[in-house]
Chain A
Amino acid sequence: MTQATLLAAPKRMVELTVDGQTVRVLDGSTILDACRQLGNEQPTLCYGDTLTPVNVCRVCVVELEGSRTLVPSCSRKAEEGMVVHTDSERVRLSRRLVLELLGSSVDLSTAPAALEYIEQYDADPSRFGPDAATVAQPVKIDNDLYVRDYSKCILCYKCVSACGEDHQNTFAIAVAGRGFDAHISTELDVELPESACVYCGNCIAVCPTGALMSKAEYDKRVAGTWDPAGETVVSTVCPYCGVGCNLELHVQENEIVTVTSPHDHDVTEGNLCIKGRFGYRFVQNRSA
């Protein structure tokens, strides 16, 4: 037997301390990766497992000894000897207030993660009073496949990343405006059918708040027949082309209501095209 040859230099490990526990992670990992390796979950909203971190929501901030400010765990790379605190007073205050700022300006009613964090951090979004400015605005329903309710948008940039460089490379949407007026927009705010949108729905798949929602789900919610508790998920393969994307059919009352793809799937990383995402209605055509 010949000696096995190393094809690449082994990756260096770095050792850091999180909440008093020592952890070794591969060089290039983030603080969030280190926390997760310890089973120490951190709240995240703008973080996406298949997306480049933009670290804008700031709910994942942690205290790093020696750093003047808190640091976003989702993007800050772990370094040898770092000492991190994820549950200090300072961290808890920041997370609580960020959740209060979001909860007071955005409709989080269809954002389960955010609602859970609000409870976890004892946040009180009503503290800013009844006149606190919000992003409330009419729902945009301009096509048959999905609706955009930007009253629910926390501006996490995930849809922009998914539409653009991270996944779809369509660049139909971007952040426009500035400050509190910043918003997700097509060019000149034209309606989706006038834009570059190809209706892959990959933006819906990453939206953490339900601001982007399939028309099917939206209609059922309006009709009061949306029933996530009674939902079952069926795995299958997309029937349309030879790529072989894995599909997860979300079924309520024997009806497909949503189609997703697993994020850990080699081919899709959770993404689909218009046919895989929305082309399921023939299955339910029972008239023949």
Chain B
Amino acid sequence: MPDLRLLEAEPSAAERIAIDAVLGPGNGANGRVARDDRTKRHLLLPALRAAQLRVGWVSEGALGYASRRLAVPPAEAYGVASFYALLALDERPADITHYCTDLSCMLKGATVPPGGHASPCLGLCERAPASYRTIAGEQPVEEQIPAAGPPLPQAGDSGLRLLRRIAAGVDPESIDAYIQAGGFESLRRAQELGPDAVLEQVVESRLLGRGGAAFPTGVKWEAVAKQAAQPHYLVCNADESEPGTFKDRVLMEQDPFALVESMAIAALATGSSKGFVYVRAEYPLAHRRVQNAIDLAASRGFLQGFEIELRIGAGAYVCGEETALFQSIEGYRGEPRNKPPFPVEVGLFGKPTAVNNVETLFNVLDVVSDGGEAFAGIGTESSTGTRLFCVSGCVGRPGLYELPFGATLRSLLDLAGSAPPKAVLLGGAAGAFVGPDLLDLPLTYEDTRAAGVTLGSGVVIVYDKDADLVGALLRIAEFFRDESCGQCVPCRVGTVRQEEALKRLAAGRAQAGELQTLAELAQVMRDASICGLGQTAANAVASAIANLGVFAA
């Protein structure tokens, strides 16, 4: 890059040490780029995160040093740093608290005290209102507040599958406890079966992805396995950021070895030698426990020929979109790619990649140990297995629930001690509102689809008779406006226009044709946006207007 001009500010000694801890010591003289570093752009985000954890923000010196070390043009490094909401480019105190003001916390009276930062959903909905605190320093602190939520509501239920080790209280930090609870038996079985037979079982299980898109896992894995291009990558999408979703956090915090085991099975089946777990920044306990599980599993020889690397986000909902997630890992702005080509062909670093949600991977353990056919016997014909539901809002027992597909919404709400709801938000901000008329809806992919709604990531937020639905719609509109990556016009400007129209409606200042405008925005965002964020950004609002009669004249 002959024309590369460098930011001239120098990092402080502390910033340099923090960045070097990620990149290794710089071996280029005078801060010049070492030859080895030119292929390490994917370490840009970890380097910036390290600098911020050390001093509280990303200074010009830190940004310049990271970009010099990695041969990233400073303008691009700035573009990356300014993309992520949690990276601060202006100096600020070392001690920062982010207060969730999103849907579930709103229902529990969330407020932002002076000096606090408002935050989108922190994934702590069962203990709302919640916050996330970071204290920069030599020994940085990251904590979730409250530190713990209520115990698993279904503890003691013998029907639990995905949650059974958590319900049994298996120590999430002890590999021996995990092994004692039957851990790594599925991996052993998978190794006996071999990749083809594992694929066969997963296909036979008819397991559908639990991240929100419900794509058949077996089909995805087979597509990756047969690609000639090498290497193949396995990516676990743990960037759980859909407002109201906290299932993957609970799984990672309380049963992290199961994630590692299931990734090892997925790697075997898809022929991947390298895996990444991309976890949102706001889940510090999950980071520690997953890293611990990776380290212990590797040291005990469970990961032969397979390496798992933990990557941590920096505050961007859109990075849960699989191609944006790749961009983020590779050290770019989290802007989704156009599809096709799909990740199974051209994914992370341009190679065939299987991307799976945490809950999806957990299911694989039972698919392998019990066989695909047995797994497919649970639930319904088209929705096999069990499903995790993140229940929050106006309920007596918020928390994570596991039910076989086919249970009704009413039965789930009864379990959770729900008041008679005025409305229920299914699937999160990208999902849809249903009214009390749909309480007998069986919670399956096929039934929700037929009703024009979605299970999405398993979000169930309950609104009772006193809840502020219009306020919720405004918050959802604000959320998408904030989280749009800004790449395509329908989403970048459409989310702004949607919020403006809703504010006018809420204030009783509607323009002529406002609902028609919202309907057109919804259709065009769905039809013409690049990725799922824009395509679903109007769903909840449209459903509230259609199903609940909000803003009805």
Interface residues of A (CB under 8 A from B): 55-59, 61, 69-70, 72, 75-77, 90, 93-94, 97-98, 101-102, 104-105, 127-129, 131-133, 154-155, 164, 168-182, 185-188, 195-196, 198
In B487-505, which residues have CB < 8 Å from any A CB? 487-490, 492-497, 500-501, 504
Contact of B488 among A56, A131, A164, A185 (CB under 8 A): A56
Chain B residues whose CB sits within 8 angstroms of the CB of A154 once the complex forms: 489
B78→A188 contact, CB < 8 A = yes
Contacting pair B528 A70 (CB below 8 A):
yes
Say yes or no: is B27 at the interface (Cβ < 8 Å to chain A): no
Asked whether B79 is an interface residue with its Cβ less than 8 Å from the other chain, the reply is yes
Stretch in B68-76, B352-360, B367-375, B441-449 with 4+ CB within 8 Å of A: B68-76
Instruction: Enumerate B62-116 residues with CB–CB distance to A below 8 Å.
Output: 63, 67, 73-79, 82-83, 85, 89
B138 within 8 A of A: no
- Report if B382 contacts A (CB, 8 A): no
Q: Are B511 and A129 in contact (CB under 8 A)?
A: yes
Query: Are the CB atoms of B524 and A98 closer together than 8 Å?
Result: yes
B384 vs chain A, min Cβ distance (A): 23
Contact B521 A97 (CB under 8 A): yes
Q: Most chain-B CB neighbours within 10 Å: which of A61, A98, A179?
A: A179
Check B528–A178 contact: CB distance below 8 A. Answer: no
Question: Given the known A-B contacts A72-B338, A133-B500, are A196 and B4 also in contact in the complex, defined by CB atoms under 8 Å?
Answer: yes
From the candidates B82, B511, B520, name the one contacting A93 in the complex (CB within 8 A): B520
Q: Judge whether B79 and A196 touch: CB under 8 Å.
A: no
For the residues of A in contact with B, the DSSP-based class is loop
Looking at B481, B488, B500, B513, which has the most chain A CB atoms within 10 Å of its CB?
A: B488
Write 23 A-B pairs (CB below 8 A) sorted by A numbering. A56-B487, A57-B489, A58-B489, A61-B527, A70-B528, A76-B338, A93-B523, A94-B523, A101-B489, A128-B497, A169-B2, A169-B3, A171-B75, A172-B3, A174-B73, A174-B78, A176-B83, A178-B484, A179-B484, A185-B78, A188-B63, A188-B74, A196-B3
B535 close to A (CB within 8 Å): yes
Which B residues are in CB contact (< 8 Å) with A56? 487-489, 530
Q: Which 3 A-B pairs have the closest CB atoms?
A: A182-B486, A171-B73, A187-B74
* Interface members, chain B 517-540 (any A CB < 8 Å): 517, 520-521, 523-524, 526-530, 535
Q: With a CB–CB cut-off of 8 A, which chain B residues contact A128?
A: 497, 500-501, 517
List the B side residues contacting A133 at CB < 8 Å.
496, 500
| Least distance between B68 CB and chain A CB atoms (Å) | 12
Residue on A with the closest CB to B77?
Answer: A187
Does B76 contact A174, Cβ atoms closer than 8 Å? yes
Return the contact of A179 from the options B7, B74, B495, B517 (Cβ within 8 A): B495
B5 sits at the interface (CB 8 A): yes
Binary per-residue interface labels of chain B (1-35) against chain A in the complex, 1 for a CB within 8 Å, 0 otherwise: 11111010000000000000000000000000000
Main secondary structure of the interface of B (DSSP, over half): helix
A113 CB to closest chain B CB, in angstroms?
A: 15
- Interchain CA distance A85-B5 in the complex, whole Å: 47
Q: Which chain B residue lies CB-closest to A156?
A: B489
The smallest beta-carbon distance between B11 and chain A, in angstroms, is 15
User: How distant is A31 from chain B, measured CB to nearest CB, in Å?
Assistant: 13
In contact, A173 and B75 (Cβ under 8 angstroms):
yes
Whether A169 lies near B1 (C-beta < 8 A) is: yes
In whole angstroms, how far apart are the Cα atoms of A56 and B495 in the complex? Answer: 15
Tell me whether B492 and A155 are in contact (CB under 8 A). Answer: yes
Cross-interface CB contact of A180 among B73, B89, B486, cutoff 8 Å: B486
Task: Say whether B143 faces chain A, with CB atoms less than 8 Å apart.
Answer: no
Report the Cα distance A90→B520, complex, angstroms.
10
* Complex contact A101–B486 (CB within 8 A): no
Given the known interface contacts A70-B527, A154-B489, A182-B486, the answer about A188 and B3 at a Cβ–Cβ threshold of 8 Å is no
Q: Is the CB of A180 within 8 A of B484?
A: yes
Judge whether B60 is part of the interface by a CB distance below 8 angstroms: yes
> Contact: B78 with A102, CB < 8 Å?
no
A188 contacts B7, C-beta separation under 8 Å: yes
* Residues of the A chain whose Cβ atoms lie less than 8 Å from the Cβ of B316: 178
Please determine whether A182 and B492 come into contact, CB atoms closer than 8 angstroms: yes
Shortest CB–CB separation between residue B197 and chain A, in angstroms?
33
A170: chain B residues within 8 A (beta carbon):
3
Q: Is B344 an interface residue (CB 8 A)?
A: no
B485 touches A185 (CB 8 A): no
Within the assembled complex, what's the spacing in Å between the Cα atoms of A64 and B485? 25
Interface assignment of B482: CB less than 8 Å from any CB of chain A: yes
Residue of A nearest to B76 (CB): A174
- Asked whether B76 lies within 8 Å of A155 as measured between CB atoms, the reply is no
Once A174-B73, A195-B5 are accepted as A-B contacts, the answer to whether A179 and B79 lie under 8 Å apart by CB is no
In the bound complex, residues from chain B placing their C-beta under 8 Å from that of A172 are 3, 5, 73, 75
Task: Determine the distance from Cα of A57 to Cα of B494 in the docked complex, in whole angstroms.
Answer: 12
What is the chain B residue whose CB lies nearest that of A133? B496
- Contacts A128-B501, A171-B73 supplied; 18 other A-B pairs, CB < 8 Å: A57-B488, A59-B489, A61-B527, A69-B535, A101-B489, A101-B494, A101-B497, A102-B493, A155-B486, A155-B489, A174-B79, A179-B482, A181-B486, A186-B78, A187-B7, A187-B77, A196-B74, A196-B75
- Indicate if the CB atoms of A132 and B527 lie closer than 8 Å: no
